[in-house]
Structure 1
């Protein structure tokens, strides 16, 4: 077998962790008890040694996959020679404190005819590095690996024993489940179970399904978006919620690691953490949809990080954190796995945590400003933290850095980092004026204005007639598509319109946008990469603000065709249209929401 294509997955989760389910009924990625824990199922990155939890018909079949409307409940439908069946997958939401217990519920149904389903539960604990035992017990099965355990609970009715055949195969458990039209059974896999496996009656399982569906529909009903693209915006909102760690409010960049930006290349990163940048962008996107509670939760998470002030060389803030707010993210490689289609190395942890990326201060302060405008206010402790962050930035913004794209070719004076430093001081000044808070206004004003003049004098390239990536070259950078959104320049300022044209000519191909050109601007890594879907949606936003609505709408509609069957996006799109990079990526879905809201409002 070979690894399933990145796009051939749906996502389920319980607000603590998440699982990817293939269109052939296999869970081939799942970490527990939280997003950044070691994997239990990892066939996505090694088909032979990664482990999986698969339910599919025994014979030849075709399959399709969809979400139950307005929920995170996933349905995989199978058509075989003798009948039609489906597997309904979900994880009951846990909007509570951290827990080691998490449930994957899998309902198996025969819709028409007769189908024999094969069930394989093959965990591989700790990225496949920890051995385990599989044991059949009276009412199910258990998998034990030292202090880690799984319990497999059967969903069945009295007298069902003749329907199933179960046996242990090494460290795996295999079952055969034969159903006829109208019958429904299933299994529940529980991590960290406190009790032995037990039989679950179908009525109890159905109630769990109904509760989960009701939870998601009640949550989505809070959305205030009534625009043209409600379905895809709702799916993006649900995806962002699935990527949020409920105990802290932190948003992970993606639930996966090691998925390549170029198949066979080395651009393979661990994204199961909370980036200050990504999560800050989520505040405006969530507020635009009416999800104020989620925006407030992240605001609290961000405030805690600023007050802790342990960002190391990067100042009061680190670039990224674990979902619990800790920053132990030393990078290492999984040498024993083969990688997605041979893409190596497979990194866990992320050394970008120790980089200097000045833009995060602008993004953080912009999110604080947006939350304040939404009525959340800024408590005294929060203002004290803001002042400390800006005091640090005032002494450090005028130096080389690694930049938004986390390059590994040495520090440079990136224009985007300077732009967002301007945003930080600008938002700090606005907050101080609005609330009458004590602040070194004269110094902050000088800092803000100095950055403005520097960007205009050194970030603007007279030959290219555009703002460029850094001060010592003429390469373009799609990160600067956010310039008019920040208010640094008006969206129809001639300097910005010229930059937008240059980006369109150099980095855009039929709505697909490269973040930069690695050949022209070496980033310390070998090979090329696909187009960046975040940038593609940011391009739509920039076109809209520039008044080029027909172009913007065409580009947006084209981007919608690159979503997978379930409305999900990875990080990048390859030259063949294949989804690449970690999946699904929060950044992409955030940018989609921003573009949809901006474009819809402009169209009227």
Structure 2
């Protein structure tokens, strides 16, 4: 398999510094930290390379994509010229400014990476990626190599060099790198730019990357050291001021706040959208084909994120998302899947055609590399429950919803009342055809039940008799057809026509008491918890279902789902098993990477798998920690 030489230990040098021998081709997924400017994000490896960056938005084509093809994807390297003994990477406290330190026999060098954010909702925001390289101790020789490969490596570029900058020009994009040292042409075809330079202790060199459209001219002048320091301090102030609004003061404050900062980085501030992850096609199994594009807004993920942010007191973000959601609702395009789509682009479009990039080998040889997402055309009825529940919470804890939003919701629920008893693909987006999923029925009940609550709380006009009749019918169906008597558990799919359901456990049913469908002390939920413990839990890590029992239409296997592991913590908490919940939570914290971030899944040896970092995981961490804190007193 491609990808030999993958490092495995966080914060350590795998073999040798890039200045003396060939560097590793692929870092582990966990060996990255994220920076961003609330428009897009970049991943910075512990070896100083930027190997994933899309601009100007999260879902734009890549500028650097070596994370998905080490040879053809492009990256920006920053390496000492001598062997590196060790590396450390951390965030500047209470910010999203990433610091990578490299220790050598000759001294220590520090690379500060950040994308400046000066103020919230800045109409004059200027997108820049800043790299400040400083000699902390000793005299350091450094080498940088800037090798963009735009449009997923499909567009060629020409290089134009000036004394203070390099420009990489394509038909669609111009990338300008201002440099504090002269850059020269390098690379096999001379189309990349690089430099070798030396720093005395206390010296620093600045690099600033900007993108622009062809013909727009140079996007700015080189930053002076003083101006760069001002940008740094202003960005520090922005992040600390934002985090200072958090109401969380519990036991796991640093961990929870890092998750909150990660969720904020995944927010597209101009629209209020919140993407599931900044990456695409990172595999759920090394060498496998379960490689999806997560750079979009899943209604489900964003709704749960809204809940997490509300729990921490971030009502402004919640209001912005509700505004984005209201715009999506007004589109009203059914296309056979109802008035609400599973996912949308950042600006609210639902047309996300899936494409395979055959010219890229994929992370560690894990192909195909997919962009776009065919799941956008699926029917997932559970999203209606997650949508309405999030708006219910905002209506309760935020500024409240408008009459127009209520009218749109009534139209949505009217459609749901006619279609709730329909087979769908549900939360896990399987590709084996539609089934009658228990989780979808539970969330359909949530949608109708929360609409009843809002109507009563606000005195809003509603057909309460009809709503309550359907709500009760859904509830009875789940209790009668979603329960497996012999297994003693609720299961993934409903039975029908007197036939019992299949013995398929599903971790999504851990949320039943969280959404108030069942009391956490209900005997049926306790029995379900016991069955899930026996069938899906491996030392606090939880599989979403057993793929060998439940055919999902996909090849290969996958790791445990981190969101399910945090749901497990919360289920234990709500059923009074507080000590076990605390131990499970602490164990989950050990699977975070060195800067407290999580990918979608955890593999059999503890490696992080899937797109990184994933919003769904971090919002579940926040919810689990907040509720366990409350239970512990």
TM range (shorter): over 0.9
Q: Is structure 2 residue 73 aligned with structure 1 residue 55? A: no
Match of 1:436 in 2: 459
Which structure 1 segments of 5+ residues have no match? 156-162
Match of 2:204 in 1: 184
CA deviation digits over 1:93-123, x for unaligned, max 9? 2744799952110000001111111111100
8 Å contact kept, 1:140–1:153:
yes
1:195 Cα shift? 4.5
Of 329, 335, 338 in structure 1, the residue corresponding to residue 361 of structure 2 is 338
8 Å contact kept, 2:185–2:191:
no
For 1:27 and 1:101, how far apart are their aligned partners in 2? Answer: 20
For 1:406 and 1:426, how far apart are their aligned partners in 2? Answer: 24
| SS of equivalent residue, structure 1 residue 75 | strand
For 1:494 and 1:370, how far apart are their aligned partners in 2? Answer: 28
Q: Is structure 2 residue 117 aligned with structure 1 residue 72? A: no
1:470 Cα shift? 0.3
1:153 Cα shift? 1.0
How many residues are paired up?
597
Of 580, 584, 595 in structure 1, the residue corresponding to residue 624 of structure 2 is 595
Match of 2:9 in 1: none
8 Å contact kept, 1:101–1:191:
no
| SS of equivalent residue, structure 1 residue 312 | coil
Match of 2:14 in 1: none
Q: Is structure 2 residue 602 aligned with structure 1 residue 573? A: yes
| SS of equivalent residue, structure 2 residue 514 | helix
For 2:98 and 2:299, how far apart are their aligned partners in 1? Answer: 30
Q: Is structure 2 residue 67 aligned with structure 1 residue 44? A: yes
Q: Is structure 2 residue 83 aligned with structure 1 residue 83? A: no
Match of 2:195 in 1: 175
Of 516, 523, 529 in structure 2, the residue corresponding to residue 487 of structure 1 is 516
For 2:40 and 2:257, how far apart are their aligned partners in 1? Answer: 20
For 1:50 and 1:279, how far apart are their aligned partners in 2? Answer: 29
Match of 1:389 in 2: 412
CA deviation digits over 1:374-415, x for unaligned, max 9? 142121101101100100000101011001000000110000
For 2:504 and 2:544, how far apart are their aligned partners in 1? Answer: 11
8 Å contact kept, 1:313–1:355:
no
For 2:373 and 2:440, how far apart are their aligned partners in 1? Answer: 20
1:166 Cα shift? 3.3
Superposition map of 1:19-418 within 5 A: 19-61=42-84, 62-93=86-117, 95-96=120-121, 102-155=127-180, 166-169=184-187, 170-192=190-212, 194-196=216-218, 198-418=221-441
Match of 1:496 in 2: 525
1:434 Cα shift? 1.1
For 1:438 and 1:602, how far apart are their aligned partners in 2? Answer: 37
| SS of equivalent residue, structure 2 residue 330 | helix
| SS of equivalent residue, structure 2 residue 241 | helix
8 Å contact kept, 1:166–1:176:
no
For 1:56 and 1:388, how far apart are their aligned partners in 2? Answer: 57
For 1:497 and 1:60, how far apart are their aligned partners in 2? Answer: 56
Of 549, 556, 563 in structure 2, the residue corresponding to residue 527 of structure 1 is 556
For 2:52 and 2:541, how far apart are their aligned partners in 1? Answer: 28
8 Å contact kept, 1:23–1:65:
yes
Runs of 4+ in 1 over 3 A off after TM superposition: 94-101, 163-169
1:164 Cα shift? 5.0
For 1:247 and 1:328, how far apart are their aligned partners in 2? Answer: 20
1:200 Cα shift? 2.0
CA deviation digits over 1:52-90, x for unaligned, max 9? 011121111021100000000000001112111110000
Judged with a 3 Å threshold, the aligned counterparts in structure 2 of structure 1 residues 424 and 403 are, in CA distance, closer, same or farther, namely: same
For 1:200 and 1:486, how far apart are their aligned partners in 2? Answer: 51
For 1:320 and 1:98, how far apart are their aligned partners in 2? Answer: 27
1:517 Cα shift? 0.5
- Root-mean-square deviation (CA, aligned residues, Å) is 1.3
1:590 Cα shift? 0.3
8 Å contact kept, 2:424–2:435:
yes
For 2:195 and 2:410, how far apart are their aligned partners in 1? Answer: 60
For 1:560 and 1:375, how far apart are their aligned partners in 2? Answer: 30
For 1:224 and 1:351, how far apart are their aligned partners in 2? Answer: 39
Match of 1:422 in 2: 445
1:311 Cα shift? 4.4
Match of 1:160 in 2: none
For 1:138 and 1:310, how far apart are their aligned partners in 2? Answer: 53
Which structure 2 segments of 5+ residues have no match? 1-23, 495-500
For 1:457 and 1:357, how far apart are their aligned partners in 2? Answer: 22
Match of 2:13 in 1: none
8 Å contact kept, 2:166–2:183:
no
For 2:164 and 2:217, how far apart are their aligned partners in 1? Answer: 12
1:179 Cα shift? 0.1
CA deviation digits over 1:322-341, x for unaligned, max 9? 01111120101000001001
- Bigger drift between 373-382 and 16-25 goes to 373-382
CA deviation digits over 1:127-156, x for unaligned, max 9? 00000011111321111001310111124x
Judged with a 3 Å threshold, the aligned counterparts in structure 2 of structure 1 residues 55 and 311 are, in CA distance, closer, same or farther, namely: farther
For 1:464 and 1:602, how far apart are their aligned partners in 2? Answer: 30
8 Å contact kept, 1:483–1:489:
yes
CA deviation digits over 1:470-526, x for unaligned, max 9? 014110100011100111110111011110111111000110000001000010001
